[in-house]
């Protein structure tokens, strides 16, 4: 599980909590070095301290801003001397029926979940092309495979992650770059807090409380995809809590 991870440099967006933070812990334990990005710098700095300054660097970034994402990725490459994996993980899940017309949430969800991934790809791709190696891990969701009432915008963004990743996979063949889409079901993180719609938020919080599995489930999938030999490209991982029907 930890082959091919030692000394790799991994950039993680959305590393201030949940799946990103837990993955950083697993990666450092396996010998990787991590660049941690998100808006809450205090959280990132505390995590970097926990992981050790030789292994982790914290960088404040809003993934909706292309220049900030470029600065983050360039900072990682400069700090650690190379770039091996870009995990486009930052995201939010503002579930709500369309008729609630929560326009600000629609905008933010599209900007973070789709454009944030695009900016991450744009920032890391030149580094990967120059090295003729690299690995994109883009985070979709079960909602990128199934559509529920109340999930129009979120599912649209997570289907988009899969669409973008599949085109990317085909385009980067000449450069030896790998592409993985990782689609979790309900995992215990702060994600339910991004549901703002009255009524929906309580239902989602209750569902997560009773069904969500720990974040190390996701981290293990990242390490599985990364640890394959360079000529093995794990393109899709979809996993759920065993009890999850949706």
Which active-site residues does the annotation give? 154
- Site size for ligand NAP (CB under 6 A): 30
Nearer to ligand NAP, 108 or 131 (CB): 108
Answer yes or no: are the C-beta atoms of 23 and 12 closer than 8 Å: yes
| Contact pick of 121, 184, 200, 204 for ligand NAP (by CB under 6 A) | 184
Q: How far apart, in whole angstroms, are the C-alpha atoms of residue 206 and residue 125? A: 40
58 strand-pairing partners: 36
Nearer to ligand NAP, 3 or 214 (CB): 214
Nearer to ligand NAP, 7 or 42 (CB): 42
Neighbouring C-alpha atoms within 13 Å toward the C-beta of 17: 13
Nearer to ligand NAP, 89 or 160 (CB): 89
| Contact pick of 40, 49, 173, 210 for ligand NAP (by CB under 6 A) | 40
Write the CB contacts of 165 (distance below 8 Å, at least 6 apart in sequence): 136, 138, 140, 179, 180, 181, 235
Largest CA distance in the chain: 50
Task: Say whether residue 82 binds ligand NAP (CB under 6 A).
Answer: no
Judged by CB under 6 A, the stretch of 11-19, 46-54, 124-132, 145-153 that binds ligand NAP is 11-19
Instruction: List the Cα angle 51/129/162 in 5-degree steps.
Output: 75
Task: Say whether residue 112 binds ligand NAP (CB under 6 A).
Answer: yes
Task: Say whether residue 186 binds ligand NAP (CB under 6 A).
Answer: yes
Q: How far apart, in whole angstroms, are the C-alpha atoms of residue 224 and residue 232? A: 11
SS3 23: helix
Distances in whole angstroms, Cα of residue 55 to Cα of each of 98, 118, 152, 184: 44, 26, 39, 26
Task: Say whether residue 153 binds ligand NAP (CB under 6 A).
Answer: no
* Tokens linked to 10: 């991994």
Judged by CB under 6 A, the stretch of 24-32, 127-135, 162-170, 180-188 that binds ligand NAP is 180-188
Nearer to ligand NAP, 80 or 157 (CB): 157
Instruction: List the Cα angle 51/236/83 in 5-degree steps.
Output: 40
Task: Say whether residue 62 binds ligand NAP (CB under 6 A).
Answer: yes
Task: Say whether residue 14 binds ligand NAP (CB under 6 A).
Answer: yes
Query: Using CB under 6 A as the criterion, which residues of the chain lie in contact with ligand NAP when the complex forms?
Result: 13-20, 38-40, 61-64, 89-93, 112, 139, 141, 184, 186-187, 189-191, 194
């Amino acid at each position: 599980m930890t082959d091919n991870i030692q000394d790799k440099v991994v950039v993680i967006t959305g590393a201030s909590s949940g799946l990103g933070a837990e993955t950083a812990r697993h990666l450092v334990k396996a010998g990787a070095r991590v660049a941690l990005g998100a808006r809450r710098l205090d959280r990132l700095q505390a995590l970097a301290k926990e992981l050790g300054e030789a292994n982790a660097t914290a960088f404040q970034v809003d993934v909706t801003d292309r220049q900030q994402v470029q600065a983050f990725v360039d900072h990682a490459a400069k700090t650690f001397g190379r770039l091996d994996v870009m995990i486009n993980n930052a995201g939010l899940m503002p579930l709500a029926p369309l008729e609630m017309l929560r326009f600000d949430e629609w905008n933010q969800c599209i900007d973070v979940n789709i454009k944030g991934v695009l900016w991450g790809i744009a920032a890391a791709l030149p580094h990967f092309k120059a090295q003729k190696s690299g690995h994109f891990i883009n985070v979709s969701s079960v909602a990128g495979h199934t559509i529920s009432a109340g999930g129009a915008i979120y599912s649209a963004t997570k289907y988009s992650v899969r669409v973008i990743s599949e085109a990317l996979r085909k385009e980067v063949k000449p450069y030896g770059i790998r592409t993985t889409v990782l689609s979790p079901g309900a995992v215990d993180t702060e994600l339910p807090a991004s549901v703002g719609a009255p009524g929906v938020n309580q239902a989602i919080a209750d569902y997560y409380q009773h069904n969500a599995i720990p974040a190390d489930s996701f981290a293990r999938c990242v390490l599985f995809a990364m640890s394959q030999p360079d000529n093995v490209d794990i393109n899709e991982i979809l996993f759920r809590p065993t009890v999850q029907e949706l």
